[in-house]
Amino acid sequence: MTSLSRREFLKNSVAATTAATVGLPVSQAALAQAKKAEAGWTWDKAVCRFCGTGCGIQVATAGGKIVATKGDPDAPVNRGLNCIKGYFNGKILYGADRLTQPLMRMKDGRFDKKGDFTPVSWKVAMDEMEKQFRRAYQEKGPSGVSIIGSGQYTIQEGYVAAKLMKAGFRSNNIDPNARHCMASAVAAFMQTFGVDEPANVYDDIELTDTIVLWGANMAEAHPVLWSRVTDRRLAAKSTKVVNITTYRNMSSDMSDLEIVIKPSSDLALQNWIAREIIARGAMNKAFVDKHCVFATGPYDIGYGMRPTDKFAYDAEKDTQAKELVVTLDKWEAIGQRRKEGEKVEQKSRTSAGRHWLISFEEFKRGVEPYTLDFVAELCKGDPDEPIAKFKDKLEQLLQLMIDPKRNVISFWTMGFNQHQRGVWVNEQCYTIHLLLGKHATPGNAAFSLTGQPSACGTAREVGTFAHRLPADMVVDNPKHRELTEKTWKLPAKTLNPKVGSDIMGILRDIEDGGVKFLWVQVTNPFQSSPNANHWIKAARETDSFIVVADCYPTLSGKVADLVLPAAMIFEKWGAYGNAERRTQMWRQQVDPPGEARTDVWMMLEFAKRFRLKEVWGEKPLPGLKGDGYADGKLPDVLAEAKAMGYDPEATLYDVLFARPENKAVKWPDAVAKGRGNSTVKALGESWFVEKALFEEYAQFGRGHHHDLAPFDVYYRDDVRGLRWPVVNGKETKYRFLEGHDPYVKAGAGFDFYGPALKALPTGDLDKVTDPKPTSLAGKAKIFFRPYAAPVEQPDANYDLWLCTGRILEHWHTGSMTRRVAELNRTAPTAVLYMHPADAEKRGVKRNDVVWIESRRGKLKLVVDTKGRNAMPKGSVFAAFFDEALLVNKLALDAVDPISRESDFKKCAVKVYKA
């Protein structure tokens, strides 16, 4: 066949495959030809490695390479469609600058913090890593070492990392970049329902009438789900889409109602909706009485910044001071029933999550100040919009939500989660849906979406957070530790009861010398964390040792002392869990290039270098007090370990991972259908690491509301992931709903059975009045949370709001998607979206270069006044993907005091001509 005819032949084949994938009519002859063109290829099902939607894809390999990818027509999530990011799944393995060998900073043939990156062998790399880890561990104990992981971890990677740190090194300093992404959603799930993760599923999109986007630009961030939303809107004419946002974006194009609000005013808007639901008799009283209670908590909770200005730049000190004392503005004062100008000491900053029961009458009193006049004036985000028009829009929104004939879905992601009151604003969304009785039923959902492919499946379910253990358990609960120690076969009191440092905490610890060793896996924290100047300088100038495992050179790699080349998605076995509780698995398709290795292999090899006697003796733990522990010390558990049959000379690899029961799970396995396993091969072992560790992990959830199916089931040809709990082979669509959720007993209707935080004292809006705990088993909480002003707001000097976010062509920090030159031409560098009048006021116009400066740093950006994002006067927007233009240098590192998630969405900046 000549190349031309081969080309025509392939084109016809591509056309037939595309048509068949999305269900367009296609002839048998065309399909037969497509099949012929693909002779010698092996197709296999897989999952997209980019966002949290969890689209199914098909991957074809030939001659040890990936040769084609396509949307999976049988995947219920995306039904054959893919967005532009999905398309990179195959291509991304073959970037010209893939890392293929370890690189270490060296001078005169040895490690030197000031040296240049030099290729080294794995042995040299790991020898130095071991030496540096030991130095930090001996000097500081378990709190001196850390891992920053990711919602891009496979389930098995997260499990190995969590077990190695928590059971092996007895350190809780492991936290994922998911902390920056949906920690607020997690905390709100736990506080409201006592159990993590959504009740509903994507199927609800096709069953609903009103879809409300709360600060979620789905058209750019979740395009495949957005296509389901827009399909629904076109197919069912009564379906309405509302985009509540701080600026006009691509999601506005297909919305029926766009409501532009001021940053952080969502809290007030929600309280108005709650107030009106009650005032207009729209509350579903039967549902609320039977299944809900009312609750609130303290308001004086700070903003999660350091309590000292010791490390602050001079310009930062005024914002930082508000961590301890806040002067109430007019809006906060009214919303909290106080006086404007009152100085409030932030007394509850270390106990922000504390809450108590209140009566319905107290709840009503809480929402009472949020009248339409008050809320419209506070919330209206576009200064040019007439107030009457804005009020009319709020009324339309209210009608679309409270109409008893309409099903309602609220979707949100970063607009809620990256918020100084992120937990509150999540909780208040449940408040609205619960008051209406429109939650956890077909077509009715308050639905938290996620940004990363396994933010749910790994970061949350496995528990790679500083406070978590598998299956919703937490390190500071003695019963949870005991259960985990039993499952992991550890001596009692091996696990560390003190919550570790979260991601901002670890970065601050490096700056102040508390942490000396950091291993970064599957993420890019030095680019993706706010107030980045501090952490980059700290990493380079303290005596810390920073290891970064990645597949491409990233900013974090450049900041590191040692860079380890990592295998990518289809070069390893793995599993992800998406935002609708769907667990999906894939087989390894090809081998990693050069010396690149899987993260699991790296951790298991590292585990071989440490013996029980080094880690299970008595360890210093500053700040540990009570709970049956000596002050500041983790106990020696070696004697009990010996009694359990462990040899103090045994390695962490043997005790935690290569256990006899795991080694009995043999590789090769029929499920592989002849494919390789790069972890097993590099280890030189004959046990199926990913399968054995998945099954070990799955024990935690089975029988505890988190049931996963057996490993092999996910690889069946007729399975496209399963939504847990999977009980008796059946997945669960609606949690908490009788007839759907196997954990809900007949006759209950609903059962919000989550066990956490379900015995509470009672009080009024301001305080506890009766400390005696009342059980609220089976019920969900309807929280009252007042409006709270953002800690930093525009003033005379820094006179604009800055919001940061993601755009369609680039995923997260762009370390993978940014490798494609044309993508960079479409969105060449981070641009600064601003209103033309704001530009004119500063003597600049479209395509001019400007300085943008916050209290924390400054950089140059290119102005855009008429791109895809139309800013209201007073606000600017920049995406954070561009490594050369590090927008996160500007962002404020305040975090939600309950969830410890950072607020990337609001800080004050000034803009002037460069």
Q: Does 820 bind other proteins (CB under 8 A)?
A: yes
Q: Does 223 bind other proteins (CB under 8 A)?
A: yes
Asked whether 148 and 162 are in contact (CB, 8 A), the reply is no
Q: Does 94 bind other proteins (CB under 8 A)?
A: yes
- Residue 47 pairs in a beta bridge with 56
CA distance 505 to 303: 14
Nearest to 67 by CA among 30, 38, 31: 38
Asked whether 431 and 437 are in contact (CB, 8 A), the reply is no
Q: Could you tell me which stretch among 69-77, 290-298, 345-353, 703-711 binds other proteins (CB under 8 A)?
A: 69-77
Q: Does 12 bind other proteins (CB under 8 A)?
A: yes
Q: Output 241 or 607, the one with its CB closest to other proteins.
A: 241
CA distance 708 to 577: 11
C-alpha torsion angle, residues 443, 447, 452, 458 (rounded to 10): -100
Q: Does 884 bind other proteins (CB under 8 A)?
A: yes
> Which residues contact residue 681 at a Cβ distance below 8 angstroms, ignoring those fewer than 6 apart?
none
Per-residue mark of binding to other proteins, 552-571 (x: CB under 8 A): xx-x----------------
Nearest distance from residue 821's CB to other proteins, in Å?
A: 5
Q: Does 39 bind other proteins (CB under 8 A)?
A: no
Q: Output 23 or 622, the one with its CB closest to other proteins.
A: 23
Count of residues interacting with other proteins (CB under 8 A): 59
Q: Does 25 bind other proteins (CB under 8 A)?
A: yes
Q: Does 33 bind other proteins (CB under 8 A)?
A: no
CA angle 640, 641, 643 (to 5 degrees): 60
Q: Which helix (H) or strand (E) holds 426?
A: helix 422-436
Nearest distance from residue 893's CB to other proteins, in Å?
A: 23
Is 589 an active-site residue? no
- Write the CA distances from 523 to 259, 517, 898, integer angstroms: 34, 16, 24
Q: Does 442 bind other proteins (CB under 8 A)?
A: no
Q: Does 533 bind other proteins (CB under 8 A)?
A: no
- Write the CA distances from 487 to 470, 482, 483, 696, integer angstroms: 11, 9, 6, 9
Q: Output 720 or 723, the one with its CB closest to other proteins.
A: 720
Q: Output 584 or 815, the one with its CB closest to other proteins.
A: 815
Is 181 an active-site residue? yes
Nearest to 419 by CA among 756, 188, 195, 148: 188
Is 396 an active-site residue? no
Q: Output 119 or 749, the one with its CB closest to other proteins.
A: 119
Q: Output 221 or 490, the one with its CB closest to other proteins.
A: 221
Q: Would you say how long the chain is, in residues?
A: 914
Nearest distance from residue 98's CB to other proteins, in Å?
A: 8
Task: Output DSSP code: residue 197.
Answer: S
Asked whether 424 and 352 are in contact (CB, 8 A), the reply is no
* 52, 54, 56, 71: residue in contact with other proteins (rule CB under 8 A): 71
Q: Does 524 bind other proteins (CB under 8 A)?
A: no
Nearest distance from residue 202's CB to other proteins, in Å?
A: 17
* 77, 83, 637, 907: residue in contact with other proteins (rule CB under 8 A): 83
What angle do the packed helices 360-367 and 266-279 form, to 10 degrees? 120
CA distance 904 to 890: 10
Amino acid of residue 747: G
Nearest distance from residue 409's CB to other proteins, in Å?
A: 21
Q: Does 53 bind other proteins (CB under 8 A)?
A: no
Q: Does 87 bind other proteins (CB under 8 A)?
A: yes
Q: Does 862 bind other proteins (CB under 8 A)?
A: no
Is 721 an active-site residue? no
> Which residues contact residue 343 at a Cβ distance below 8 angstroms, ignoring those fewer than 6 apart?
325, 326, 327, 328
Q: Does 199 bind other proteins (CB under 8 A)?
A: no
* 50, 88, 214, 653: residue in contact with other proteins (rule CB under 8 A): 88
Is 452 an active-site residue? yes
Is 182 an active-site residue? yes
Per-residue mark of binding to other proteins, 230-249 (x: CB under 8 A): x-------------------
Burial of 49 (0-12, 13-18, 19+ CB in 10 A): buried
* 228, 781, 819, 868: residue in contact with other proteins (rule CB under 8 A): 819
Identify residues 786-815 at the interface with other proteins (CB under 8 A): 809, 815
What angle do the packed helices 599-607 and 689-698 form, to 10 degrees? 80
Asked whether 734 and 440 are in contact (CB, 8 A), the reply is yes
- Annotated catalytic residue: which of 182, 551, 602, 871? 182
Q: Output 81 or 870, the one with its CB closest to other proteins.
A: 81
Q: Does 388 bind other proteins (CB under 8 A)?
A: no
Q: Does 14 bind other proteins (CB under 8 A)?
A: yes
Q: Does 748 bind other proteins (CB under 8 A)?
A: no
- Annotated catalytic residue: which of 451, 500, 557, 814? 451
Q: Does 826 bind other proteins (CB under 8 A)?
A: yes
Q: Output 50 or 519, the one with its CB closest to other proteins.
A: 50
- Annotated catalytic residue: which of 320, 452, 521, 589? 452
Nearest to 552 by CA among 119, 49, 95: 95
Q: Does 35 bind other proteins (CB under 8 A)?
A: no
Q: What sign for the dihedral angle of Cα 375, 377, 380, 381?
A: negative
- Annotated catalytic residue: which of 129, 414, 568, 871? 414
CA distance 99 to 84: 24
Phi and psi at residue 250, to the nearest 5°: -60, -30
Q: Could you tell me which stretch among 17-25, 279-287, 579-587, 861-869 binds other proteins (CB under 8 A)?
A: 17-25
* N- to C-terminal Cα separation, the chain: 59
Q: What sign for the dihedral angle of Cα 225, 230, 234, 240?
A: positive
Helix (DSSP H) and strand (DSSP E) numbers for the chain: 31, 34
Nearest distance from residue 67's CB to other proteins, in Å?
A: 5
Pairing of strands 356-358, 292-296: antiparallel
* 75, 77, 81, 260: residue in contact with other proteins (rule CB under 8 A): 81
Q: Does 227 bind other proteins (CB under 8 A)?
A: yes
- Residues annotated as catalytic (active site), given as ranges: 85, 181-182, 414, 451-452
Chain positions contacting other proteins, by CB under 8 A: 7, 10-19, 21-22, 24-26, 62, 65-71, 80-84, 86-88, 90-97, 223, 227, 230, 552-553, 555, 809, 815, 818-826, 883-884
